[in-house]
Amino acid sequence: MLVCNVQFMPTFDELKQLIAQNNPGADLTMLELAYDFAAKAHGGQKRLDGSDYIEHSLATALTLAQMRLDLTTIMAGLLHDIPEDTNITIEEIEKNFGPEIARLVRGITKLGKLKYRGLERYAENLRKMFVAMAEDVRVILIKLADRLHNLSTLSSLPPVKQQRIARETLEIYAPIANRLGIGELKGKLEDLAFRYVYPEEYAWVVKLAKTRLEEQLAHVNAMIKELQQLFQENGLDIVSIHGRAKHYYSLYRKLLRKDMDIAKVYDLVALRIIVKDVAACYHALGLIHARYKPLPGRIKDYIAQPKPNGYRSLHTTVFCDQGRIVEFQIRDIEMHEHAEYGIAAHWRFKENGQPTEIQLPPDQLKWIKELLDWQKDIKDNAQYLQALKIDIFQNRIFVFTPKGDVIDLPENATPIDFAYHIHSDIGDKCSGARVNEKLATLDSKLSSGDLVEIIIDKNRAGPSADWLEFVKTNVAKSHIKNYVKRKRGGLLKFFNRQLE
């Protein structure tokens, strides 16, 4: 689990020890130079909570180290505020630490120029953010680590700033962390922001969860002992088994969907089982189902069919003793690291401490590339933000093609959105759809887990303008609008020829 003790005063020795622990062969000479450079640059500067400014730089770097990122990124974390808050330029950073670190610091500096005043007045900054992410996704990882520590010291700021920073976190940064698969960091960002954006709801959820948590934790601890014995008797070696409490903001969002009834929330405390390999995941699942009765429809195999952000795990919910219901998450070590660190899990070190060649899964960054493509076409900021709200910052659903491929769509997406996500020709020729092997209207709202098949009419000329009334994704809207525009242009030319 990603644990960042940002409420404590971090030290440089802690940072070095953590890096040495994760990467025994790493050469820390340049890291020490970066720390000395940052400490001197921020010398005498204090934050509003009274702490030395270098502590913020250290906390940011510590979070990046806990995510096991490469030394270049960690050093950029130490240096990230220097151009904005001191007289030292990015050119001086490049001279001392090279172009790669300077490029990362420059990316962070650009993201800090504009202040958040709600999505409607934030379009240009978002455009810059996604360009920076496409150039090097580590820029946003540094920004997320920076934001985590800023949130932990938010109490020292005036209420107006607290609201601005917390709301920006919930509306912008936490959804981006989610899209990058960094689940634990996303949860921490949301919980720290939750108490400032919705203080009454936060207090209510904390109070509600406390009693229920105490009950469930006692039951879960008893189950852990029972499961350890079950696995041992059946020759299954496990790496760890532990209870994981749901984050408060995630619990609040789920309560909104469950009529605010916490009895309907089965994963308030989930049991997480870490094993050595994929075969052991399925072995553990079989043993659990042999011991406890699973709830119908609650078994999810994200190993065979990973989520688009790369998340892999087995989920099952079972009836336990005394009628209790408990959720299990089963994964191997590699899956667990990816679930915790997301895209950051792809930066790793060789035995000699040198960074490996980075091979990022293209599917996990596909959405960023798509964003850049259509943000070039959408010049109007209001239209751009509306598209972002749907395609990026809205809840996502995961539906399946007949071949079992997972498709990531915004909530309330339709078969037409699905068709255009597959290919523009399929969208243009779409004449019907089957959802879960039953005929469905083209304006039907899809749900997670749906199996969707598009019926194609090869003789169809193109999409209908009426589809614009219900499609959700920018990709679908763009293709339909372009077709309608071309069609109208063709008709106009036809009529003009007739008048000649």
Domain ranges of the chain: 12-197, 200-346, 394-499
Mean pLDDT (whole number) for 368-374: 70
* pLDDT (0 to 100) of residue 441: 95
Q: Which pLDDT tens digit goes with each residue over 19-33?
A: 988 888 888 999 999
Q: Which pLDDT tens digit goes with each residue over 214-247?
A: 778 778 888 899 999 999 999 999 999 998 888 9
Angstrom distances, CA of residue 5 to CA of 12, 58, 148, 281: 14, 11, 10, 31
Q: How far, in whole angstroms, is CA 71 from its chain's centroid?
A: 23
Angstrom distances, CA of residue 415 to CA of 183, 431, 436, 456: 28, 10, 12, 12
Paired with 407 in beta bridges are 399
pLDDT at residue 412 greater than cutoff 70:
yes
pLDDT bucket at 1, cuts 50 / 70 / 90: very low
Q: Which pLDDT tens digit goes with each residue over 325-366?
A: 889 999 999 899 888 887 776 655 433 344 444 455 555 666
pLDDT bucket at 160, cuts 50 / 70 / 90: confident
Q: Which pLDDT tens digit goes with each residue over 246-268?
A: 899 988 888 888 878 877 777 77
Query: Strand 293-294 to strand 314-319: parallel, antiparallel, or no bridges (unpaired)?
Result: antiparallel
Model's pTM, two decimal places?
Answer: 0.76
Q: Which pLDDT tens digit goes with each residue over 18-73?
A: 998 888 888 899 999 999 999 999 998 888 888 899 999 999 999 999 988 889 99
Mean pLDDT (whole number) for 93-108: 93
Q: How far, in whole angstroms, is CA 21 from its chain's centroid?
A: 26
* pLDDT (0 to 100) of residue 426: 94
Catalytic pick among 85, 135, 411, 453: 85
* pLDDT (0 to 100) of residue 118: 58
Length of the chain: 500
Kindly state the percentage of the chain with pLDDT values over 90. 43
More confident residue, 448 or 174: 174
* pLDDT (0 to 100) of residue 363: 59
Q: Let me know if 267 is a catalytic residue.
A: no
Q: Let me know if 327 is a catalytic residue.
A: no
* pLDDT (0 to 100) of residue 494: 43
pLDDT at residue 396 greater than cutoff 90:
no
Q: Which of 153, 199, 127 is nearest to 392 (CA)?
A: 127
Q: Which of 136, 148, 92, 72 is nearest to 110 (CA)?
A: 136
CATH number of 12-197: 1.10.3210.10
Question: Which residues lie closer than 8 Å to 395 by C-beta, 6 or more apart?
Answer: 410, 411
Residue pair 476/454 in contact (Cβ under 8 Å)? The answer is: no
Catalytic pick among 27, 32, 36, 84: 84
Give residue for tokens 């523009």.
424
More confident residue, 115 or 283: 283
Mean pLDDT (whole number) for 452-469: 92
Per CATH, the homologous superfamily of domain 394-499 is Beta-grasp domain (3.10.20.30)
pLDDT at residue 119 greater than cutoff 80:
no
Is CATH 1.10.10.10 the right assignment for the domain spanning 200-346?
no
* pLDDT (0 to 100) of residue 311: 86
Q: Which pLDDT tens digit goes with each residue over 295-336?
A: 988 899 999 888 877 789 999 999 987 778 889 999 999 899
3-state secondary structure of 46: strand
